[in-house]
Amino acid sequence: MIFSGEFHPFRLPVPDLWLDVFQKIKSMGFNGVSFYVDWGLVEGNPGHVSTDGIWSLEEFFDAATQAGIYLIARPGPYINAETSAGGIPGWVLRKNATIRSDDPEYLNATVNYLSTVGRIIEKAQITHGGPVILVQPENEFSTWPGVTDFPSSMNRRYMDFVEQQLLDAGITVPLIVNDNEAMGYWAPGSGLGAVDIYGIDSYPLRYDCAHPTVWPTYRFPFDWQVVHERESPETPFAIAEFQGGSGEGWGGVAEEMCADLVNAEAARVVYKNNYSFGVKLFNIYMTYGGTNWGNLGYQAGYTSYDYGAAITEERGLWREKYSEQKLEANFLKVSPAYLTATSKLGVNGSYGAPASIAVTPLLGNGTQTNFYVVRHADFSSLANAQYNLIVSTSVGNVSIPQLGGSLSLNGRDSKIHVTDYDLGGINLIYSTAEIFTWARGSGSTRVLVLYGGVGETHEFAVARHLGNPTIIEGEDISFHEKGSTWVIRWQVGRNRCVIHVSNLEIYLVWRNEAYNYWVLELPSSHPIGNFSSPSKELVVVKGGYLIRSAKLVDKHLWLSGDVNSTTEIEVISTPVGQLDGLIFNGQQMKTSPTKTGKVSAVVEYHPPTLDIPALNDLQWKYIDSLPELKSSYNDSAWQSCDKLVSHNPRKLDTPTNLYAMDYGFHTGSLLYRGHFSANGLESYIWLNISGGTGFGHSVWLDDTFLGSWPGTGSDATITQNLTIPTTLSSGTQHVISILIDNMGQDEEAPGTDAIKFPHGILGYQLSNHVQSDVAWKLTGNLGGEQYRDLARGPLNEGAMYAERQGYHYPNPPNSHWEVSSPFKTGLSKAGVGFYTTTFRLDFPDGWDVPLSVVLNNSTAGDSTQKNSGINYRCQLYINGYQYGKYINNLGPQKSYPIPEGILNHNGLNYIALTLWAQDPLGARLGGLDLAPSMLIRSDYAKPRPAPQPTWEPRLGAY
Ligand code: GAL
């Protein structure tokens, strides 16, 4: 089984941290990761594909190999993924060709990218000893406007073209598809464009994070066995994407509520439902979400792409879902009988259970083992339900529990009960308690870890001829002879029970105790190395926060892991039995014997006192970042908006083309300057502005502020009439300045070209003028598609003066800038201020301390005060990386996790802010804190900083 988690390297732009995330995924019991490549980030400049620095796939592949993680590569060209234009570069959007069609102009645009990235992926295939086992061409290519009998021959030609390029690059591993329609599209044998493995894509819990306890029912899958049999019976049942979290947009709720929507209970109920269908390739999107830093996100997402995933944006493991998934993935890893069992359509009320219970069996097919997946028939039910189950075992049909009482589902829950389950030669006749793992100890010793919810009663049975059960630890346990079996009954409490039946050692733990157990695969020789394989020897330890890996050298167990409190490490099982030593993170531990005959040791946790500066108290330097409002400003270097045509599907409403994308500006803010000669009759200007959901804009006539649009969580365009307050003298020259926050392009449904919807000025009218009286100029990021920052990529910076000059870089030329604080002083009128300061950090080695920049006490709009506007926007730059976009009037994000490596934990840091006050009252920030989420004593590899080029004069900057 491939059990994988989605993780996008581009959302964690510190290559040295990729290993940390891979290890955390691997320690959850997963054996794979699926990832996208974002074409728009690596080929922002047509013809120049970046494959080094933070874009290095090779480093990603090396880290996966080191952690032992198989990879599913998904290079698009279209990826969706809540990225700007779903990964299609801006320069492709302005072509006269439908995106994802077989128009040669579009196809040709993909060639350079696909062949370059294809060749890099090719080298990393498992056939060359690398981690890549599957490649997915395109993404969710399952509809096309007007095509009812999808796919049409056009769709087929395009899909085939993408696949052919990957094959030409040498890809030989199977191709997989991600079909969001679950209609069998592109399944093997379905004609031109068919792939090797068919996969479903599904998000049943949807996206309403504001109501996290409401589980939508309209997309819940009940019959995927049937779908699989109908659409692709010959391939392993694959779910290429399944909902692992959820997302939110501007003005929405915080990501933590998305974690609540798709919580541990959802993972228990909804994922187990998938296992009941016999899924063989299961990929959870997202497993680590990361960050939409540097404008890489689409219009409707904010900076955090935490996604409420199992691993938090800070790389933290404090969500229960992580632990729940660990229980599930480890169980499947040690249950090979699951791979061949036949899944039967679930019937409510069958197998002796009441009608309120759904039972889906996976029946042995070549093995004796059966799996019975049980949940509420109404899967979202919060009821406490009791049931008995008639299961088929080698000792006949048995109604369980046999010793009285009943089994229970308390609230949102689902269970997998097994019969005739092979523990490496010892038969577990049945168990109502769930299996976390089992492992081979030395000789014929087997260790089994069972778990249940506190208060539940469980039962399991083994053959009597094995020997008599002995209780080693705990009390809530009794056993009875039944025919040829021992039936062992366990009342689940918080205390562990351990019982031995001959050489079978059974650990009975309540679920939250099981969360502290870790199963590690021992490394093997080349070519398996650290990759998962059924032949792997396992080590089971009770630890705490995280155990990353284990190795055995001369009966010494070496563990690598992290603790967040003083933690007892107990070795539950190793293939050598008795150990001669235990080494944790390179340190020899003082061990003591446990009651159960194992060893344990205590890892001390003494967190250091960290010197973290109070950002509010630092000296901040300031410059005006809107010098364009001054009459002396010279815009002769600016791009004139002189194009008369556009290939955009939206027809022009203006005499010349004002779509920013058609001038190569695809990211960050946009700044327009409209020159006109007054006739004295001007009374208003009407504007139709587009910037994507959550966008805002501000308008000035010369240096007079006319007004702003502060944005909403739903408007992507807005029309506005702004009054010109004074009469202009006829014949005088004037400039209208419009600053637009450009939120990233939308995603699309195939063939609609919705992602091309232009941003910028869509329409305008200056009263008592013809449109052509206004001559527009435009700037976005300096250089547009020929962007300057090759290290941080094409989307990181926008049109603001300070950005064009590169002042957001470390070491800007600020010695003569004014000293002014964004908190104490701020801006007293509408405009844009740029602030920068520096500070040092010097954290001790061996401590992983995720830090966030947190905005606090934002000004609440006291209109009697200056600097107290409500509507303002900030961009946060850390060592040149835009790592936060804050919109005071929309929110919801206030806390911005900054990974180590973007922030230097041992060295100097440059932090910069653009503060854009949209109200006449100006704006002031309440304060900024640098806040650690946890101090983790960690065996992570300390990352080298991501490339942080410092400021140099930018040639041609205006
Ligand atoms: C899927 C898509 C992903 C992502 C997800 C929602 O349908 O394939 O790329 O956009 O939806 O988070």
Q: What is the pLDDT of residues 735-774, one digit of tens each?
A: 999 999 999 999 999 999 999 999 999 999 999 999 999 9
Residues in CB range of 535: below 8 A, 6 or more apart: 524, 528
Q: What is the pLDDT of residues 462-472, one digit of tens each?
A: 999 999 999 99
Q: What pLDDT sits at residue 281?
A: 98
Q: What pLDDT sits at residue 403?
A: 96
538 Cα to the center of ligand 1, angstroms: 35
Q: What pLDDT sits at residue 862?
A: 53
Question: Among 323, 317, 420, which Cα is nearest to 364's?
Answer: 420
Residue ranges, CATH 2.60.120.260, the chain: 615-622+800-937, 627-779
Whether 905 and 814 have beta carbons less than 8 Å apart is answered as: no
Q: What is the pLDDT of residues 489-530, one digit of tens each?
A: 999 999 999 999 999 999 999 999 999 999 999 999 999 999
State the CATH class of domain 627-779.
mainly beta
State the CATH class of domain 337-544+566-603.
mainly beta
Q: Which residues are catalytic?
A: 140, 241
**Report field, pTM of the whole predicted structure over 0.85:** yes
The ligand 1 atom at the shortest distance from the C-alpha of residue 81 is 9
The residue-averaged pLDDT of 704-712 equals 98
The residue-averaged pLDDT of 55-75 equals 98
Question: Among 914, 758, 934, 755, which Cα is nearest to 848's?
Answer: 934
703 Cα to the center of ligand 1, angstroms: 44
The ligand 1 atom at the shortest distance from the C-alpha of residue 178 is 8
pLDDT at 863 over 80: no
Higher pLDDT, 858 or 561: 561
Distance (Å, whole) CA 766 – CA 776: 13
* pLDDT confidence tier of residue 856, bands split at 50, 70 and 90: confident
The ligand 1 atom at the shortest distance from the C-alpha of residue 307 is 12
96 Cα to the center of ligand 1, angstroms: 27
Distance (Å, whole) CA 913 – CA 646: 35
Query: Could you tell me the sign of the dihedral formed by the alpha carbons of 643, 645, 650, 652, in that order?
Result: positive
Q: What is the pLDDT of residues 888-929, one digit of tens each?
A: 999 999 999 999 999 999 999 999 999 999 999 999 999 999
Q: What are phi and psi of 495, to 5 degrees?
A: -90, 140
How many percent of the chain have pLDDT more than 70?
A: 99
311 Cα to the center of ligand 1, angstroms: 18
Residue nearest atom 4 in ligand 1 by C-alpha distance:
81
Three-state SS at 567: strand
749 Cα to the center of ligand 1, angstroms: 11
Residue nearest atom 5 in ligand 1 by C-alpha distance:
81
Q: What is the pLDDT of residues 198-217, one digit of tens each?
A: 999 999 999 999 999 999 99
Residue nearest atom 10 in ligand 1 by C-alpha distance:
81
The domain 615-622+800-937 having CATH identifier 2.60.120.260: the answer here is yes
Of 7, 80, 205, the residue with max ligand 1 atoms within 8 A of its CB, to mutate for a pocket test, comes to: 80
Whether 543 and 561 have beta carbons less than 8 Å apart is answered as: yes
Q: What is the pLDDT of residues 255-300, one digit of tens each?
A: 999 999 999 999 999 999 999 999 999 999 999 999 999 999 999 9
The CA–CA distances, whole Å, from 947 to 13, 74, 296 equal 10, 25, 18
* pLDDT confidence tier of residue 567, bands split at 50, 70 and 90: very high
118 Cα to the center of ligand 1, angstroms: 22
Whether 27 and 76 have beta carbons less than 8 Å apart is answered as: no
The ligand 1 atom at the shortest distance from the C-alpha of residue 139 is 8
Residues in CB range of 795: below 8 A, 6 or more apart: 40, 41, 44, 84, 294, 295, 296, 666, 667, 668
Question: Among 801, 790, 781, which Cα is nearest to 663's?
Answer: 781
289 Cα to the center of ligand 1, angstroms: 12
Among 3.40.980.10, 3.20.20.80, 1.10.10.10, 3.40.50.2300, name the CATH number for the domain at 2-317.
Answer: 3.20.20.80
Distance (Å, whole) CA 361 – CA 374: 9
In the chain, the amino acid numbered 214 is V
Q: Which residues in 481-513 are b (16+ Cβ under 10 Å) and which e?
A: eeeebbbbbbbbbeebbbbbbbbbbbbbbbbeb
The ligand 1 atom at the shortest distance from the C-alpha of residue 180 is 7
Strands, E, within 226-336: which ranges? 238-243, 281-288
Of 179, 206, 219, 285, the residue with max ligand 1 atoms within 8 A of its CB, to mutate for a pocket test, comes to: 285
Q: Which residues in 334-372 are b (16+ Cβ under 10 Å) and which e?
A: bbebbbebebeebeeebbebeebbbbbbbbbeebbbbbb
Of 11, 82, 748, the residue with max ligand 1 atoms within 8 A of its CB, to mutate for a pocket test, comes to: 82
Whether 283 and 5 have beta carbons less than 8 Å apart is answered as: yes
Q: What pLDDT sits at residue 865?
A: 64
Q: What pLDDT sits at residue 347?
A: 79
Q: Which residues in 236-272 are b (16+ Cβ under 10 Å) and which e?
A: bbbbbbbbbbbbbbbbbbbbbbbbbbbbbbbbbbbbb
Q: Which two tokens stand for residue 642?
A: 């002189």
Three-state SS at 333: helix
Q: What pLDDT sits at residue 243?
A: 98
Residues in CB range of 815: below 8 A, 6 or more apart: none
Residue nearest atom 6 in ligand 1 by C-alpha distance:
81
Average pLDDT along the chain: 96
Three-state SS at 337: helix
Query: What residues are in contact with ligand 1 under a 6 Å CB criterion?
Result: 79-82, 139-140, 178, 180, 201, 241, 247
Residue nearest atom 11 in ligand 1 by C-alpha distance:
81
Residue ranges, CATH 3.20.20.80, the chain: 2-317
26 Cα to the center of ligand 1, angstroms: 23
The ligand 1 atom at the shortest distance from the C-alpha of residue 80 is 9
Question: Among 48, 99, 1, which Cα is nearest to 788's?
Answer: 48
Q: What pLDDT sits at residue 864?
A: 59
Pairing of strands 469-473, 497-501: antiparallel
Q: Helices 57-67 and 18-27 meet at what angle, rounded to 10?
A: 30
Question: Among 916, 293, 334, 250, which Cα is nearest to 625's?
Answer: 916
Of 241, 246, 306, the residue with max ligand 1 atoms within 8 A of its CB, to mutate for a pocket test, comes to: 241
* pLDDT confidence tier of residue 730, bands split at 50, 70 and 90: very high
Q: What pLDDT sits at residue 824?
A: 87
Q: Give the distance from CA 186 to its chain's centroid.
A: 26
